C-alpha cells in the first residue's frame, strides 16, 4: 500500500497526466480532491479539498494543478493541515513578492510561503527538495531552457554580451483545458502563432535559475497545432569553444548521472515525437566554429517533464523514493 497523495485540479490537462502517472506508480495512491469552481463531470471518488480531508485521507502530499490564484489560497491551507505541497502553478516560483508583482501583475498574498518554497528542478536543486514543505514545480518553458542553458553558462562557454535567443514552441495543452477562442480547434489547426514576445511570465524563471540578466535573454512563445510537446531553439555565440563536440561534452559530463537527460550525438537533432509521453529532456547541438554561432535544440513533453512528470520526480525525492519511480 502506497503513500496517499491528493490532487487538486485533476480534471485539467496537467492534473489528468498526474493521475495517469500516479495510477501506475508502485508507491503512491492518488486521491482526487474536488475544488469549488471546478467544472466537469462528477467524480465519485473525489474528496473535498479541505483541511479535514487532508487529515481524514492521511495525505502526505497534495499536488496543486491549479492556476496561481487558486494555489495562493490552497497551498497555505493544505500546508497548515499537515500535508506537504507540490504546486504546479507559478505562484511560488519567483522567490520575492517584487518579482512576482512585476511578472504576474498582481500582489503576492503569501510572501512567507513564497520565501520558503523550494524551486523543484531536481537537476539543479536536488539537495533542497527532500526536506521541502512546499515545492514550486517549474514552468514548462523554463525547464527546457534551463536544462539546455545552465550547464553551458556554468562552463563559461556562452558569450553573454552577445545575447541569448530562445525561440520556444509549445503544444496547445500548455494553455490549459479551459475553453477559449485562442485554443479552439478551428483557430489552431493549420495555423502557427507567436504570443507574449519578450514578456512571457516564464522568463524570470530562466533568469533566476540560469543566472542571466533580462537584457541578455530574448524569449518568444509560440503555439504549434499539436496536443503536447515543447521544442526550444536556442541561439548564442560560443566562447572558448571549437566544436559541437565541445558543447556536447559539457552536457554529457554534467548530466552523466541524470536519468532524464538524453544528449544527441553530433548531427542528430531532437524532435517532439521522441519525448512525447516521457519524462525525458532531449538536447542536440549545431555549432559553427569559425563564427561561434551555436544552436541548441531542447525538447520535452510540456505535460510530463514540463509539469506532471517533474512533479512526480519531486514527490519521489520528497518521500525518499527512487527518483525515477513510476516515470520510466
The three three-digit cell numbers of residue 22, written as one number: 500516479
Site string for a copy of itself, 207-236 (x = CB under 8 A): -------xx--x-x-x-xxxxxx-x-x-x-
Distance CA 220, CA 242 (A): 28
Grid look-up 514552441 returns 169
Closer residue to a copy of itself, CB minimum distance, 213 or 320: 213
CA 5 to CA 2: how far, in whole Å? 9
- Please give the Cα distance from 271 to 226 (Å, whole number): 13
Nearest approach in angstroms of CB 175 to a copy of itself is 9
How many residues bind a copy of itself (CB under 8 A)? The answer is 57
Task: State how far the Cα of 50 lies from the Cα of 71, in Å rounded to an integer.
Answer: 13
Q: Which among 302, 305, 303, 297 has a CA at the least distance from the CA of 328?
A: 305
Radius of gyration of the chain (CA): 19
- Give the one residue of 4, 27, 160, 177 binding a copy of itself; rule: CB under 8 A: 177
Q: Does 291 bind a copy of itself (CB under 8 A)?
A: yes
Minimal distance, residue 292 CB to a copy of itself, in Å: 8
Considering only residues 98, 116, 192, 289, which one is a binding residue for a copy of itself as defined by CB under 8 A?
A: 192
- Catalogue the active-site residues: 140
**Phi-psi bin for 9: left (phi > 0), alpha (psi -120 to 50), beta?**
left
Note whether 269 binds a copy of itself by CB under 8 A: yes
Among 93, 108, 169, 201, indicate the residue that binds a copy of itself (CB under 8 A): 169
Q: How many Å apart are CA 90 and CA 73, to the nearest integer? A: 13
Residues of the shown chain interacting with a copy of itself in the complex, contacts defined by CB under 8 A = 13, 162-163, 165, 167, 169, 171-173, 177, 179-181, 183-195, 197-198, 214-215, 218, 220, 222, 224-229, 231, 233, 235, 237, 269, 271-273, 276-277, 286, 288, 290-293, 295, 297
Amino acid at each position: 500500500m502506497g503513500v496517499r497523495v491528493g490532487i487538486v485540479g485533476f480534471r485539467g490537462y496537467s492534473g489528468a497526466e498526474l493521475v495517469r502517472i500516479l495510477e501506475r506508480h508502485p508507491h503512491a495512491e492518488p486521491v482526487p480532491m474536488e475544488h469549488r469552481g471546478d467544472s466537469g463531470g462528477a467524480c465519485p471518488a473525489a474528496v473535498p479539498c479541505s483541511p479535514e480531508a487532508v487529515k481524514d485521507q492521511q495525505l502526505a502530499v497534495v499536488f496543486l494543478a491549479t492556476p496561481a490564484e487558486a494555489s495562493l489560497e490552497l497551498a497555505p491551507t493544505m500546508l497548515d493541515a499537515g500535508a506537504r505541497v507540490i504546486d504546479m502553478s507559478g505562484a511560488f516560483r519567483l522567490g520575492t513578492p517584487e518579482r512576482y508583482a512585476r511578472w504576474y501583475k498582481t500582489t503576492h498574498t503569501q510572501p512567507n510561503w513564497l520565501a520558503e518554497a523550494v524551486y523543484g528542478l531536481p537537476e539543479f536543486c536536488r539537495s533542497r527538495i527532500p526536506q521541502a514543505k512546499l515545492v514550486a514545480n517549474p514552468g514548462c518553458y523554463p525547464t527546457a531552457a534551463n536544462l539546455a542553458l545552465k550547464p553551458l553558462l556554468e562552463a563559461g562557454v556562452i558569450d553573454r554580451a552577445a545575447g541569448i535567443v530562445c525561440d520556444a514552441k509549445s503544444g496547445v495543452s500548455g494553455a490549459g483545458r479551459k475553453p477559449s477562442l485562442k485554443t479552439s480547434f478551428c483557430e489552431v489547426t493549420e495555423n502557427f502563432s507567436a504570443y507574449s514576445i519578450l514578456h512571457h511570465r516564464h522568463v524570470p524563471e530562466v533568469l533566476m535559475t540560469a543566472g542571466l540578466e533580462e537584457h541578455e535573454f530574448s524569449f518568444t512563445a509560440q503555439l504549434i497545432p499539436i496536443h503536447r510537446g515543447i521544442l526550444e531553439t536556442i541561439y548564442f555565440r560560443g566562447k572558448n569553444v571549437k566544436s559541437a563536440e565541445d558543447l556536447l561534452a559539457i552536457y554529457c559530463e554534467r548530466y552523466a548521472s541524470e536519468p532524464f537527460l538524453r544528449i544527441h550525438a553530433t548531427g542528430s537533432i531532437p524532435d517532439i515525437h521522441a519525448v512525447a509521453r516521457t519524462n525525458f529532456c532531449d538536447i542536440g547541438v549545431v555549432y559553427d566554429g569559425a563564427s561561434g554561432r551555436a544552436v541548441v535544440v531542447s525538447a520535452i513533453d510540456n505535460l510530463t517533464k514540463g509539469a506532471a512528470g517533474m512533479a512526480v520526480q519531486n514527490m519521489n525525492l520528497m518521500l525518499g523514493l527512487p527518483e525515477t519511480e513510476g516515470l520510466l
